[in-house]
Protein backbone atom coordinates (compact mmCIF):
# COMPACT_ATOMS: atom_id res chain seq x y z
CA UNK A 1 0.00 0.00 0.00
CA UNK A 2 1.22 3.51 -0.76
CA UNK A 3 2.35 5.54 2.25
CA UNK A 4 -0.32 8.14 1.58
CA UNK A 5 -3.09 6.78 -0.69
CA UNK A 6 -4.84 10.16 -0.57
CA UNK A 7 -1.88 11.96 -2.09
CA UNK A 8 -2.66 13.15 -5.61
CA UNK A 9 0.61 11.82 -7.04
CA UNK A 10 2.80 9.10 -5.49
CA UNK A 11 6.39 9.95 -4.64
CA UNK A 12 8.62 7.82 -6.86
CA UNK A 13 12.37 7.34 -6.44
CA UNK A 14 14.64 5.46 -8.85
CA UNK A 15 17.83 3.72 -7.71
CA UNK A 16 20.47 2.98 -10.37
CA UNK A 17 23.61 1.08 -9.34
CA UNK A 18 26.43 2.11 -11.68
CA UNK A 19 29.94 0.85 -12.32
CA UNK A 20 31.70 2.41 -15.31
CA UNK A 21 28.53 3.36 -17.18
CA UNK A 22 29.75 6.74 -18.46
CA UNK A 23 28.61 6.05 -22.03
CA UNK A 24 25.10 4.98 -21.08
CA UNK A 25 24.05 6.69 -17.84
CA UNK A 26 23.08 9.97 -19.52
CA UNK A 27 20.78 8.15 -21.94
CA UNK A 28 19.12 6.25 -19.08
CA UNK A 29 18.46 9.42 -17.11
CA UNK A 30 17.22 11.33 -20.16
CA UNK A 31 14.61 8.67 -20.97
CA UNK A 32 13.10 8.38 -17.49
CA UNK A 33 9.59 9.90 -17.29
CA UNK A 34 9.07 13.23 -15.56
CA UNK A 35 6.80 11.63 -12.95
CA UNK A 36 9.95 10.44 -11.13
CA UNK A 37 10.65 12.63 -8.10
CA UNK A 38 14.31 11.74 -7.66
CA UNK A 39 16.87 9.66 -9.54
CA UNK A 40 19.59 8.22 -7.33
CA UNK A 41 22.69 6.94 -9.10
CA UNK A 42 24.94 4.93 -6.79
CA UNK A 43 28.50 5.01 -8.09
CA UNK A 44 30.19 1.71 -7.25
CA UNK A 45 33.91 2.45 -7.74
CA UNK A 46 33.66 3.72 -11.31
CA UNK A 47 36.95 4.78 -12.88
CA UNK A 48 35.38 6.59 -15.84
CA UNK A 49 33.13 9.68 -15.98
CA UNK A 50 29.98 7.98 -14.68
CA UNK A 51 29.72 10.40 -11.75
CA UNK A 52 30.25 13.52 -13.86
CA UNK A 53 27.76 12.45 -16.51
CA UNK A 54 25.13 11.46 -13.96
CA UNK A 55 25.45 14.75 -12.11
CA UNK A 56 25.24 16.72 -15.35
CA UNK A 57 22.02 14.85 -16.18
CA UNK A 58 20.48 15.96 -12.87
CA UNK A 59 20.78 12.82 -10.74
CA UNK A 60 21.58 12.62 -7.06
CA UNK A 61 24.90 10.77 -7.02
CA UNK A 62 26.01 8.66 -4.06
CA UNK A 63 29.21 6.66 -3.74
CA UNK A 64 29.43 3.13 -2.34
CA UNK A 65 33.02 1.96 -1.94
CA UNK A 66 32.09 -1.66 -1.13
CA UNK A 67 31.90 -3.40 -4.49
CA UNK A 68 28.73 -5.26 -5.38
CA UNK A 69 25.35 -4.70 -7.00
CA UNK A 70 23.53 -5.32 -3.73
CA UNK A 71 25.78 -2.98 -1.78
CA UNK A 72 25.00 -0.18 -4.23
CA UNK A 73 21.25 -0.84 -3.95
CA UNK A 74 21.46 -0.89 -0.14
CA UNK A 75 23.23 2.47 -0.22
CA UNK A 76 20.37 3.95 -2.22
CA UNK A 77 17.76 2.50 0.13
CA UNK A 78 19.56 3.87 3.18
CA UNK A 79 19.66 7.32 1.57
CA UNK A 80 15.90 7.28 1.02
CA UNK A 81 15.33 6.11 4.60
CA UNK A 82 17.16 9.18 5.90
CA UNK A 83 14.86 11.57 4.02
CA UNK A 84 11.98 13.25 5.81
CA UNK A 85 9.57 13.00 2.87
CA UNK A 86 7.55 9.82 2.55
CA UNK A 87 8.48 7.75 -0.47
CA UNK A 88 5.75 5.61 -2.00
CA UNK A 89 7.46 3.61 -4.74
CA UNK A 90 11.08 2.66 -5.38
CA UNK A 91 12.14 1.56 -8.86
CA UNK A 92 15.39 -0.30 -9.52
CA UNK A 93 16.96 0.07 -12.94
CA UNK A 94 20.36 -0.78 -14.43
CA UNK A 95 22.57 1.96 -15.80
CA UNK A 96 23.60 0.18 -19.01
CA UNK A 97 20.62 1.26 -21.19
CA UNK A 98 19.52 -2.34 -21.81
CA UNK A 99 16.06 -1.58 -20.44
CA UNK A 100 13.79 1.11 -21.81
CA UNK A 101 13.54 3.67 -18.97
CA UNK A 102 10.40 5.20 -20.46
CA UNK A 103 8.60 1.94 -19.66
CA UNK A 104 8.76 2.85 -15.97
CA UNK A 105 5.15 4.01 -16.27
CA UNK A 106 4.15 0.42 -17.20
CA UNK A 107 6.12 -0.98 -14.27
CA UNK A 108 4.53 1.21 -11.61
CA UNK A 109 0.96 1.16 -12.99
CA UNK A 110 -0.12 -2.05 -11.14
CA UNK A 111 1.10 -0.56 -7.84
CA UNK A 112 -0.85 2.66 -8.33
CA UNK A 113 -3.96 1.24 -9.98
CA UNK A 114 -4.30 -2.22 -8.42
CA UNK A 115 -2.46 -1.89 -5.10
CA UNK A 116 0.10 -4.56 -6.12
CA UNK A 117 3.17 -4.66 -3.87
CA UNK A 118 5.89 -5.68 -6.33
CA UNK A 119 6.30 -5.57 -10.11
CA UNK A 120 9.01 -7.05 -12.32
CA UNK A 121 9.70 -5.99 -15.87
CA UNK A 122 9.84 -9.38 -17.56
CA UNK A 123 12.29 -9.49 -20.48
CA UNK A 124 9.88 -11.17 -22.88
CA UNK A 125 11.69 -13.13 -25.60
CA UNK A 126 9.36 -11.64 -28.22
CA UNK A 127 10.31 -8.11 -27.14
CA UNK A 128 14.00 -8.86 -26.60
CA UNK A 129 16.62 -7.73 -29.06
CA UNK A 130 18.73 -10.56 -30.49
CA UNK A 131 21.83 -11.10 -28.36
CA UNK A 132 20.59 -8.87 -25.52
CA UNK A 133 20.77 -11.79 -23.10
CA UNK A 134 23.70 -14.20 -23.14
CA UNK A 135 22.97 -17.98 -23.28
CA UNK A 136 24.20 -18.37 -19.70
CA UNK A 137 21.80 -15.62 -18.60
CA UNK A 138 18.86 -17.29 -20.31
CA UNK A 139 19.67 -20.68 -18.81
CA UNK A 140 20.34 -19.27 -15.34
CA UNK A 141 17.11 -17.31 -15.47
CA UNK A 142 15.17 -20.42 -16.48
CA UNK A 143 16.75 -22.57 -13.78
CA UNK A 144 16.18 -20.05 -10.99
CA UNK A 145 12.54 -19.42 -11.88
CA UNK A 146 11.93 -23.16 -12.39
CA UNK A 147 13.26 -23.87 -8.88
CA UNK A 148 11.12 -21.08 -7.44
CA UNK A 149 8.07 -22.62 -9.07
CA UNK A 150 9.06 -26.05 -7.78
CA UNK A 151 9.72 -25.05 -4.17
CA UNK A 152 7.45 -22.04 -3.69
CA UNK A 153 4.74 -22.34 -6.39
CA UNK A 154 6.03 -19.06 -7.76
CA UNK A 155 4.74 -17.53 -10.98
CA UNK A 156 7.95 -15.62 -11.69
CA UNK A 157 9.48 -16.17 -15.13
CA UNK A 158 12.33 -13.67 -14.89
CA UNK A 159 14.91 -12.18 -12.52
CA UNK A 160 14.88 -8.91 -14.45
CA UNK A 161 16.57 -5.96 -12.70
CA UNK A 162 13.91 -3.44 -13.85
CA UNK A 163 11.48 -3.65 -10.94
CA UNK A 164 9.27 -1.56 -8.67
CA UNK A 165 8.12 -2.05 -5.10
CA UNK A 166 6.26 -0.03 -2.49
CA UNK A 167 8.79 1.47 -0.13
CA UNK A 168 7.22 0.12 3.05
CA UNK A 169 7.29 -3.44 1.69
CA UNK A 170 10.89 -2.97 0.55
CA UNK A 171 11.95 -2.03 4.06
CA UNK A 172 10.10 -5.02 5.48
CA UNK A 173 12.16 -7.37 3.29
CA UNK A 174 15.36 -6.48 5.17
CA UNK A 175 17.47 -6.94 2.07
CA UNK A 176 21.07 -8.01 2.68
CA UNK A 177 22.79 -9.64 -0.30
CA UNK A 178 25.83 -7.51 -1.24
CA UNK A 179 26.36 -8.81 -4.77
CA UNK A 180 24.66 -10.82 -7.52
CA UNK A 181 22.07 -12.57 -5.35
CA UNK A 182 20.17 -9.32 -4.81
CA UNK A 183 17.43 -9.84 -7.39
CA UNK A 184 16.58 -13.42 -6.42
CA UNK A 185 16.77 -12.59 -2.70
CA UNK A 186 14.10 -9.93 -3.21
CA UNK A 187 11.82 -12.30 -5.11
CA UNK A 188 12.22 -15.11 -2.58
CA UNK A 189 11.40 -12.75 0.27
CA UNK A 190 8.36 -11.45 -1.62
CA UNK A 191 7.14 -15.06 -1.88
CA UNK A 192 7.89 -15.83 1.78
CA UNK A 193 6.09 -12.70 2.99
CA UNK A 194 3.08 -13.42 0.81
CA UNK A 195 3.20 -10.02 -0.87
CA UNK A 196 1.28 -9.50 -4.10
CA UNK A 197 3.32 -9.41 -7.29
CA UNK A 198 2.97 -9.35 -11.06
CA UNK A 199 5.22 -9.40 -14.12
CA UNK A 200 4.85 -6.88 -16.93
CA UNK A 201 6.48 -7.70 -20.30
CA UNK A 202 9.09 -5.10 -21.23
CA UNK A 203 11.46 -4.55 -24.13
CA UNK A 204 15.14 -5.34 -23.73
CA UNK A 205 18.10 -4.40 -25.94
CA UNK A 206 21.84 -4.95 -26.15
CA UNK A 207 23.52 -3.01 -23.41
CA UNK A 208 26.08 -0.28 -23.97
CA UNK A 209 29.49 -1.66 -22.97
CA UNK A 210 30.35 -5.08 -21.57
CA UNK A 211 28.35 -6.70 -18.76
CA UNK A 212 30.23 -6.97 -15.48
CA UNK A 213 28.35 -10.18 -14.66
CA UNK A 214 27.29 -12.19 -17.71
CA UNK A 215 30.11 -10.72 -19.81
CA UNK A 216 32.73 -12.80 -17.98
CA UNK A 217 32.96 -16.50 -17.14
CA UNK A 218 33.88 -15.70 -13.54
CA UNK A 219 30.95 -13.30 -13.17
CA UNK A 220 28.47 -15.79 -14.64
CA UNK A 221 29.63 -18.62 -12.36
CA UNK A 222 29.64 -16.43 -9.26
CA UNK A 223 26.17 -15.06 -10.02
CA UNK A 224 24.84 -18.58 -10.61
CA UNK A 225 26.23 -19.83 -7.32
CA UNK A 226 24.78 -16.89 -5.39
CA UNK A 227 21.34 -17.34 -6.95
CA UNK A 228 21.23 -21.09 -6.27
CA UNK A 229 22.48 -20.54 -2.72
CA UNK A 230 19.60 -18.17 -1.96
CA UNK A 231 17.02 -20.55 -3.43
CA UNK A 232 18.35 -23.57 -1.52
CA UNK A 233 18.62 -21.53 1.68
CA UNK A 234 14.96 -20.56 1.51
CA UNK A 235 13.84 -24.01 0.41
CA UNK A 236 14.78 -25.47 3.76
CA UNK A 237 13.55 -22.66 5.98
Q: What is the pLDDT of residues 64-86, one digit of tens each?
A: 999 999 999 999 999 999 997 89
Specify the pairing of strand 163-166 against strand 89-92. Answer: antiparallel
pTM of the model: 0.91
Residue-wise burial string across 211-235, b where 16 or more C-beta atoms lie within 10 A, e elsewhere:
bbbbeeeebbeebbebbbebbeebe
Q: Look up residue 55 and give its DSSP letter.
A: H
Quote the pLDDT of residue 57.
97
Give me the residue spans of the domains in the chain: 12-133+158-207
> Cα–Cα distance between 191 and 214 in angstroms, integer?
26
CATH 3.90.550.10 is held by the domain 12-133+158-207: yes
**Higher-scoring residue by pLDDT: 179, 228:** 179
Residue 54 has pLDDT above 50, yes or no: yes
Quote the pLDDT of residue 215.
45
Residue whose C-alpha is closest to residue 197's, from 187, 208, 182: 187
> Cα–Cα distance between 131 and 135 in angstroms, integer?
9
Quote the pLDDT of residue 225.
76
Amino acid sequence: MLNNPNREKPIIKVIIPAYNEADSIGKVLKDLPEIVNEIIVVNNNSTDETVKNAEQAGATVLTELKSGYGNACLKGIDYIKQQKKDTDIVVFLDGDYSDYPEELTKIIAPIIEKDIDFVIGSRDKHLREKGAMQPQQIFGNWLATFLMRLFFKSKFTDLGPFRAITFDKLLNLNMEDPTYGWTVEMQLKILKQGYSYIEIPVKYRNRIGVSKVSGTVKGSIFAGIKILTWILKYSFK
